[in-house]
Structure 1
């Protein structure tokens, strides 16, 4: 049951996509932020053009009771790698996912024209965080969800430009990313002479298999590659590996914090058995004895040493 309280502003100036999650005992509200360059003019020596207007950024406001909110603080802005000031974040769409926060980050790429602060395409990047305040953009800022190629308005698909919803959903081992789509680029509708006949809007859905946002693979597909984790404090009964490769191409080793293999848990005796369509269950078999993660000495941190060839590694999961 909902009750109405006296209206009061939690944060101001939040006219683009916002995202609200509960994480580690507090509410995190990711909102639009006005960066310090707002109201100034910045010359761009590369294009010879000047930018001026409102500089977009991602702000964070927090609360422990959902009533009192902190003033928003800037947590993410663009830099020269994003072609600043023409590249600007338009939102941060956040979802708690396992033990991390995953963010979909639309980056608006303004056309470098004098005083243009509205017109341009965007693409969606992938970001990850453990505390909601410090964000790492995945895969060297590569595009995660690309916009359709730029063509005349009449030839564009209905979702030539799209914006993901505030969060993603996972059901039946499938990630659901709902999005708003339109034929027009950001700011294109402001032109009073634009052709409304070819303007379309809609709600779309993009999907991908659970956990398969990004992968690691060997640099040389003809040779195996090895990934080592930092020493981890593990507690659980089973180790699952989400990977797209034949089982014989996957080997897992447990090692102590100094890198020495744990007896009975060497890569040479590891076996990957199909757990479900996306994951393998790992056990180690030697001297007619089969061992799983629960049999490993986990009193001290251990290193996971994962060797694979001819395939992709997405993630690992420890079951209770």
Structure 2
């Protein structure tokens, strides 16, 4: 059967008296691994039930490895792989990649900076043409001569070998990037920061770009696919973020940014006399993007410059480039004021009845004002299967009419009711007329919470009796939520 989550609104011809509502994952666990940790990494589960996590920890930036049998309780193996001058700084025995590190062949893995982000593919789970070993990873680093996105390979996910020692996507693309092999396009896809901006620096108005490759080496140019808009923030109200980082010794000098912008704008400033050195007050900081049930899902990090907070928003796309936001823009994961939040580069992990999301929260804002009680940690949240978005009916009966469906073989609904709520299904012809024996009045009403409710009718008929006819579904509901169809 084919599953159609209602995040994909293409199946909906019309929704009457139904509210489209983003669903929020429920927190399962906090502080999944010890230490000051951050989700600039990946979590994968293989068909043998082994879970692997690659994540960021101190010193900035250093990658760590952990393993689990259930995705909840994690073990940190003793690896002893990082360069001697870094060992005294790492937080735990499971660090495997830090600065000034080479592979067994003497090729640079990381030089003076990085790795930032660590996105991993497992060829045993998703075969792809450029695999040189079971695991392939992409991350941002600076070596002795170059900066950019590097590709490495590993059989065990711990000991890595450089692809070429040169970046496959050059340039300083700050933050965590995402790549995966798109089986529909038969291409590798990358999301991250572009090089070109309509401003004096890449931090002036953060964007997200898209690239494709056949071989992981040769990539198409950046195509910008995500920018915030006027509904997020007034484009004429610009902010000097460096001034908000007062007290941070690593913050770029406000004078340097002001000079760059003054040259570009012939000395213009805001009415308050502050230099115009930043872009919108809200910007896209990063993304976790992945194929899902015939579309692409994006969990995007929204960065609020005035407060330094960061939260996530749920987007979807039909081609991976043209992204759609919900009409009512709300945080996806629970937003915590004054904190920074980011998700793993790898997709969430899909289990039989739930989707698990791994992400991190820091109680320090992005402005990094010194704070002795700063704490970062990786968390797990869970979403019941396919419940990204729900069409919600209240006390007034609502109705959802689908587009035409070609020759459905069967029918299940993912639905939940509240109190005395109910759901009924009617099967119509292409013109919206009920088929004999399959009307809403003859449907046995559903109450409860079921990922795979199979409607029945008093006539004894079912969708499987339609012998390949073209139909529409008409779902009526009261005090209930509809999440997905399987046909």
Which band: TM-score by shorter chain?
A: 0.7 to 0.9
TM-score by length of 1: 0.79
What is the aligned counterpart of 1:29 among 190, 198, 221? 190
**Structure 2 equivalent of residue 260 of structure 1:** 433
Tell me the alpha carbon deviations over residues 186-241 of structure 1, each in whole angstroms, 9 at most, x when there is no partner.
1x22x4xx12x2011221111121112221112xx2221001122233432x2111
Q: Is the 8 A contact 1:35 1:57 kept in 2?
A: no
Distance 1:274 1:95, change over 3 A: farther
**Structure 1 equivalent of residue 224 of structure 2:** 74
**Structure 2 equivalent of residue 313 of structure 1:** 482
Runs of 5+ unmatched residues, structure 1: 41-51, 112-118, 151-159
What is the aligned counterpart of 1:138 among 309, 315, 326? 326
Tell me the alpha carbon deviations over residues 243-286 of structure 1, each in whole angstroms, 9 at most, x when there is no partner.
11179711111222222222232222223679984331123331
Q: Distance in 2 between matches of 1:242 and 1:258?
A: 25
**Structure 1 equivalent of residue 342 of structure 2:** 163
2:316 paired with 1:128: yes
**Structure 2 equivalent of residue 58 of structure 1:** 208
What is the aligned counterpart of 1:177 among 319, 334, 357? 357
- Asked which structure has the greater RCO (Cα within 8 Å, sep 6+), the reply is 2
Q: Secondary structure at the match of 2:433?
A: coil
Runs of 5+ unmatched residues, structure 2: 1-132, 134-152, 154-160, 236-279
Q: Distance in 2 between matches of 1:276 and 1:244?
A: 4
Aligned residues: 279
**Structure 1 equivalent of residue 374 of structure 2:** 199
Q: Distance in 2 between matches of 1:71 and 1:315?
A: 36
User: Considering only CA atoms, is the larger Rg found in Structure 1 or Structure 2?
Assistant: 2
Q: Distance in 1 between matches of 2:453 and 2:162?
A: 50
What is the aligned counterpart of 2:304 among 109, 125, 150? 109
Q: Is the 8 A contact 2:309 2:337 kept in 1?
A: no
> Deviation at 1:171?
1.4
> Deviation at 1:184?
0.6
Distance 1:19 1:234, change over 3 A: farther
Q: Secondary structure at the match of 1:270?
A: coil
Distance 1:75 1:244, change over 3 A: same
Q: Is the 8 A contact 1:17 1:93 kept in 2?
A: no
Tell me the alpha carbon deviations over residues 146-202 of structure 1, each in whole angstroms, 9 at most, x when there is no partner.
32134xxxxxxxxx422111221111311111012211111x22x4xx12x201122
Distance 1:75 1:260, change over 3 A: same
**Structure 2 equivalent of residue 293 of structure 1:** 463
